[in-house]
Every structure is written in C-alpha cells, then in structure tokens.
Amino acid sequence: MKLPVHRIIPFSNVEGYGNRTSIFVQGCNANCLYCHNSETIPMTSKDTMQYTVKELIEVIKFQIPYIRGITVSGGEATLYPKFLKELFIEVKKLGLTCYIDTNGFFDYNKLLPLILETDKFLYDIKGIGKSLDKLCFSEDLLEVNNLSKNFSKRFGIGNEHLESLKLLLELNKVEEVRLVYLKSFYNIDNVVEEIYDILKSYPDVIFKVIRMHVRGLPKERLKLLKGAMPSLKDFREISLKIKEMGFSNLVFIE
Amino acid sequence: MISSVNDILTIVKSKELTSQQKLIALGNVGERIFSPVDLLGYTEEELSFLENQMVCDLNEGYALYRPRYIVPNYEVFVKNGAEFLELDAPTDLDDLLDGLLILYTHVPSITSFPVFIGHLDRLMEPFITDNEEEDYKKIKRFLNHIDKTITDSFCHADIGPYETKAGVLILKAVMELGNPTPNMTIRYDKNKTSRSFAELAAKSCLLVSKPSFSNDVSYVEDVGDHALCSCYNALPFAGGAYTLSRLRLGTIARGAKNYHDFINVLLPKVAKSTLRMMDKRITFIVEESNFFESSFLQREGFIDKDNFTAMFAIVGLADAVNIMLKEEGIEETFGQSVRGDEIGHIIMNVLKDIVDNHKGVYASRTNDRYLLHAQVGASIDEEDKLNTPAHRVKVGQEPTLIDHLRHSAPFHQYFPSGTGDLFAFDNTYVDHPGAVVDIIDGAFASGYRYITTYMKNTDLIRVTGYLVKKSEVEKLRNNQAVLRDTTVFGMGTDDCAQVFDRKLRV
C-alpha cells in the first residue's frame, strides 16, 4: 500500500496548532475554483512521490523533537483512509498527534475507522446548497476526476458535510472550521448562521474566515471567479458583522 | 592592543561620538597605554598572539580597575536598601523602580554601563498592586528610562521561568516600546513556565527581537545560581566574570602549517597562553586594583568576590573548519558537512580539555576553572571579517532550519558560560507563536542552551547577541552621532558578517 504525496513541508505553523510536518497528498474529489494547489487535484502527476507507511515514518521521524505532530492535507486526505489509518497508528507510537485537513466531502461512516485514529480535523466548509455545484464540483476544468458525481445531491442538497461536522464535534475531533469568503456563489449570511448554530456549543473550536485571493490562479479559474473577489473593505465589513454574532474563537485571515 | 597618545586626539576630534561616548573611550585608552608585559607580566610570546590577532582581548585594557561583567543581586536592595546610597528598602513599586534606576548608575562593567539589571519580574512582583493600569504605566516608563540612559544594549534583564503578573506587564511594555535596551532573556523551563507565558514571550521575540529563550535546566545544572547578562552570558549570580579573552580560530587555522600543526601544536599553544594571560589579568584586578575594597556592592552584599569567574571564548569555528576541509580536498562548508562537524568537535574537544585542566585564579565559584564561551563577534580588527561569530554557520552557508538545528545543537554543550543561535522567521509565526515554542522545546531537548528569533522585516534586529535599530546604523553610516554605542558594533558586525541578511526560515 502506497500514498501518492505531492509535497512534504517539514515545519508548518498554519496547519493546526504548533509546529507540524505537513503532508500534501495527490488527488482531490472536489475542484474548487479558487484552489491554490490545483496541481494536487489530479490523482497522479509527474511530481508525485509514492510512499509506504514505513518510508513516510522515516521522513517524519527526522523532525522529532521539533514537531508536535503531523497534518495530512492535499488534495483530499480522506481519499486514502486505509493508508492513513495505518500511518496514524505508527505516528502515534512516536508521541506525535495526527491531524487531517479536509474539505468535508466524505462518507462519515466509511471514514469512521480513520476518524477514530485522528486527533483533530481542520474542517473546511466550502459552502451550503446548490452553489457548491459551480464552486466545487465544476466539470468545466481540466483536472476533473469524476469523483464528485453524486456530490450535488449528497452535499448540495443533503448537507452531508454539515452532518459529518456535527458528529466530529461530538467526538471532540475538530480544532478549527474554515470558511473561504467570496462575494458570490453562496449567501454568506446563511452560511455563517448555519456554522454558528453548529459551533455555538463548542467554544474552544476556532472559526477561521479567510478572504479569497486570486493572485497566481490559472486564467481559466480566474474567469469563472469574476466578480467574486472581495476587496479588503468588503472583507472587513463582513468581519464586523460576523464578530457581532457571538463566536467565541474567531480568526480572520485578510 | 596597546594604545598611543595619538588615540586620545582621534577620539577627542571624532564627529560620530557623543561626549559621553568620548569620555568612555578616553578612559579605555588610558587602560591600554601600559604595556601588559611591564604591568601584568605577559611574556613576549603571549603578547605576540595578541599582536598577530590570533587572540583578542576585546580591548579590555591592562590597567584593569573593575571586572568585565558584574551580576549584582538586586534583592539585597529590596531587603536592605543601599546604605552607601542612603536609600531605604523600597515599600512600593515607585520606590523599587526609582531605587533600581539609581543603583544602575553605580554598577560598573567593561562598557561602564550595567550588563545585568536584575530578574525584573521577580523584583517587581511583590510590589504589583490591583491597579494594573497604573503599574503598567510605571513599568513602561521605567523600561523606557533605561533605554534612554543606559545607552548600551549589552544591558540585560531576565524574566521567568515562572509566569507572574509583573512578567506579563513587562512583556507587554517591551512589545509596545520596541526599544533596543534592555536586552532580555526569559529563563525557560517547560515544566515551570506556563505555555501561555512562553507563547507571549515568543510573540514578543518575533515582534521586537526579545526576550530570547535560555534553557534554564541546563544552565542551572552547569552554572548553578546564575543570570543571563550582556549578550547571552550565563554567569554566577551575585558575582560575574573578571575578563573575557577570545581565540580567533579562523586566524589560528590560517597561521598553522597544516591540520596536524593546527590541532596538536598551534591551537594548544595559543589556548594555554590565553589562559595564562587571563590569570594575570584577574590577579591584577583582585590584588592591585582595590575594586572590591572600594565597592559598596561588595561591602553591602550585592556581589561577593568569591562569585566571580572568567570566560575563555572562541570565534571563527566555521572558518577554521572550512580551512581544514579545503586542506582535505572536501568541497563542503561548515554547517553542511559531516566531516566539517567532526572537525568542529575535534577542535572543541581540544579546547575543552585544555580549559578543564587549567587551574585558574580567584575562580573558586566555578571549581577554579574558567568557563568556555561562544563569543558573538566584534569588529576590532580586519581579522574579524574572517572569523564568523561563535560556532555559527557563515551567513549564506546556512542549511535548512531542521538541518541547522540538528547541526548546531551538539555544539552548545561546550559553552557553559553562554552561546546561542538565532533564526529569522516570516511574519506568519506572529499569529502562531505555539509553533515557535515547539521549535524551542525541540531545540532544548536536543541540547540547545539558548535560542532567539526575530522577524526579518523589523527595524529592531538582533545583530549577534545584542539589539540595534537598522535605522540607527544607517544614520551612523552617514556619519551622524547616534544614541547607543552598540550601534557602532552593529554596523561593524554587519560589515563583517552580513548579519542583516540571514536566511529567512519559512
């Protein structure tokens, strides 16, 4: 069993609390228009390295004692539940914690064995409702994997990602929930209210709102995001509004 | 080096020095006007190592009249006041801070300014009131006063290891002021220091380049009751260090015929000569200068002559190793070379052996031994351009952060009286100080004694062990007088070692 890895960052301060080794897997089941790592979306690429659990453990070990854990990001980490479960069991033996950075598009029950081995999730809410079709399940772009075929129904209509978040929160497995703010596609008020309802009984969980940036995006993505880029002023206005809602642990990334 | 009468006029006529800086420099010329051969009994061979720049006495002078570093126990003032100064013991925060400012003007050192101003949080904590706002104003005013009157950023304050109200207020004020002085260390022990206090200190260190983190466990083990002073010198508390002499290892290596000559002949000879010169200097301070006889600090118990030691220092380990690698035909550099590390440890073990086996004078506090020190560099001679600070990797030859940490950690063990590495981070770490504390925890678990960080784009920057404002250096480069004497050293060191261009750690 091998994991396709796009990149490993030995020291990272932004993928969960503390200093962590970040592993970016290759392959994603979504295709978000503003994705800044769109090279990680295809299931393979020429830059991909294949690692066994043992090989990856050696890479991680090199950073001990300077790190408190690892974070698997991507791409989408939850595409590799069997491998990661096995990896996490070994990583924990080294006294490290294991985090997953996810887009929320997974089947909770199928993922449960991995969830139980995961210390914390960094959980993206990409949006709510039909808007997800265009924003995240687009088939107009090159890097399509056809992994998001029934996602419109499951997440766009069924809100499965919100249900999974609630279950993870009950298990105390969420460190932060993130929302990328853009001006169109979804209704920000509805989305934030929904998230507030879910998070209000979990005061320790961070809610991180990130202003969408388009710098460096490929042209075909830019085109589809026309008019959605919030100015700093837009973002600060929204931030003020969100601050008034009563979130206990808010972070804004301008 | 021996001075000449002409030096007096050069100083008097200088355009860049303030009057106060001239006065201090003139005093230093007076100390160096005597030949150490006549006054201290140096042999001609010993003197020759100063003249060929293999050894540097940092222009301490020969007619010595006070120890180089003095580390007073200011608790004595809290308990008894100061009789010589006709000061009663303080009863509130105002009394304490005012009294300390008075005391500081009476604590000498090589720079004529105090190099240690106390474990500030411990001193203040008993006087902290319920009125946090007022206390904060007083502490901030006190710290700002120090920056404007102690115009030398070797002046050093300690905080920690325990979190206190005073400690938090001090850090808050330090961040708001953004002053170079005082230099500051948090004595850090992950079992004593709260995580939140450590993260606040780490954030402050990124924003205003202080406090640095010292490994309290390892320094307590090696030096016992101690304080961090000057750059990052760990010295006996209520005492200090008489003198500091440093070997320029790069210069010695270049003067050697080959590897064998360097390791087995020249290096030991220079090291032993240096130790003997140190003996003679200390003997003069203790037996001839009457420092202790005339000092109220000694009389009233702020210091005790039995708590002093001396520092045997090195610079240029990287340069010496690079020379030896070249001789072996290896195209690698110190910091990125397995063989380079090996040679580095061979050099340090030669020195450690010699220092451990030399019975020093008036150093009972440290078992009659002088303490090895990794000196941060200076620009006294052209040779300093060819000697990298301490055991650091040359700027421009640094490996990745993780490799750098792994390379440098084992070298920290050799230097009980102080060493330190420093790393420039980007500004994403300001919002994630937990990541910095993790790196510090890892470093200390790997043998690090001292670590500091700063953000590359700030004006206030750590040169090697002390802080300068880049804007002040620019003023000086344009021949304008500046407030702090350390700015001159900062400019010199940047000219020598390009320290403003250290690799950014992302």
For the residues of A139-198, what is the DSSP string, one character each? SSSTT--S--TTHIIIIIIT-HHHHHHHHHHHTT-EEEEEEEE-SSSS-HHHHHHHHHHH
Report the residue from B429, B442, B446 with minimal CB separation from A13: B429
Domain assignment present for B372: yes
Position of tokens 């978000």? A32
C-alpha span between B231 and B391 (Å, rounded): 15
- Measured in degrees and rounded to the nearest 5, phi and psi for residue B198 equal -65, -40
All structural domains of chain A: 3-182 (3.20.20.70)
User: pLDDT, tens digit, for every residue of A55-82?
Assistant: 999 999 999 999 999 999 989 999 999 9
Instruction: Nearest chain A residue to B427 by CA: give it.
Output: A13
| Amino acid of residue A184 | S
Q: Does some domain include residue B24?
A: no
| C-alpha to C-alpha distance for B42 and B53, rounded to whole angstroms | 16
To which H or E segment does residue B187 belong?
strand B183-188
Q: Cα angle at B28 between B287 and B41, to 5 degrees?
A: 40
A67·B401 Cβ contact <8 A? no
Which of A34-43, A161-170, B322-331 is predicted least confidently?
Answer: A34-43
ipTM of the shown complex = 0.92
Please report the pLDDT score of residue B329 as a whole number. Answer: 97
Is B432's CB within 8 Å of A62's CB? no
Q: Is B467 in the A-facing interface, judged by CB distances under 8 Å? A: no
Cβ distance A8 to A24 under 8 Å? yes
CATH number of the domain where residue B188 is located: 3.20.70.20
Chain A residues lying within 8 Å of B441, measured CB to CB? 65
Contact status, residue B165 vs residue B403, Cβ threshold 8 Å: no
- Give the pLDDT confidence score for residue B474 in this predicted structure: 83
Number of structural domains chain B divides into: 1
Instruction: Note down the domain range covering B500.
Output: 34-506
Q: What tokens appear for B495 in the block?
A: 């000219």
Cβ-defined contacts of B26-29 (< 8 Å, 24+): B27/B112, B28/B3, B28/B59, B28/B61, B29/B3
Instruction: Give mean pLDDT, residues A1-16.
Output: 96
E strand segments, B88-143: 116-119
Question: Which A residues in the span 34-63 are in contact with B, Cβ-Cβ below 8 Å?
Answer: 62-63
Residue A129 sits at the chain B interface (C-beta within 8 Å)? no
- Judge whether B13 lies within some domain: no
Question: Would the CB atoms of A65 and B432 count as touching at under 8 Å?
Answer: no
Residue B20 placed within a domain: no
Query: Does residue B196 belong to the interface with chain A, where contact is any CB pair within 8 Å?
Result: no
Compute the nearest-CA separation of B323 from chain A (Å): 30
In a domain, B281, yes or no: yes
Spell out the per-residue pLDDT of chain B, length 506, in tens.
899 999 999 999 999 899 999 999 999 999 999 999 999 999 999 999 999 999 999 999 999 999 999 999 999 999 999 999 999 999 999 999 999 999 999 999 999 999 999 999 999 999 999 999 999 999 999 999 999 999 888 999 999 999 999 999 999 999 999 999 999 999 999 999 999 999 999 999 999 999 999 999 999 999 999 999 999 999 999 999 999 999 999 999 999 999 999 999 999 999 999 999 999 999 999 999 999 999 999 999 999 999 999 999 999 999 999 999 999 999 999 999 999 999 999 999 999 999 999 999 999 999 999 999 999 888 889 999 999 999 999 999 999 999 999 999 999 999 999 999 999 898 889 999 999 999 999 999 999 999 999 887 778 877 767 788 888 888 888 888 888 877 777 777 777 667 777 777 64
> Quick check: B439 and A14 CB within 8 A?
no
Q: Is B400 on the interface with A (CB under 8 A)?
A: yes
Q: Quick check: is B500 in a domain?
A: yes
Q: How far does A70 lie from chain B, in Å, by closest CA?
A: 12
Largest Cα–Cα separation, chain B: 68
- The answer to whether position B12 is within a domain reads no
- Taking the CA of residue A227 as centre, how many other CA atoms within 13 Å lie in the half-sphere pointing to its CB? 3
pTM: 0.93
Consecutive H or E run containing B94: helix B93-104
Of A17, A62, A64, the CB nearest to B434: A17
pLDDT tens digits, A114-138: 999 999 999 999 999 998 999 999 8
Mean pLDDT of the region A16-30: 96
Size of interface A-B (CB pairs under 8 A): 47
Q: What pairs with residue A125 in β-bridges? A: A179
Residue in A17, A19, A70, A120 to test binding to B, most B beta-carbons within 10 Å: A19
Contact of A14 with chain B, judged by CB distance below 8 Å, is answered with yes
Q: So what's the pLDDT on residue B490? A: 77
Please indicate, yes or no, if residue B103 is contained in any of the structural domains. Answer: yes
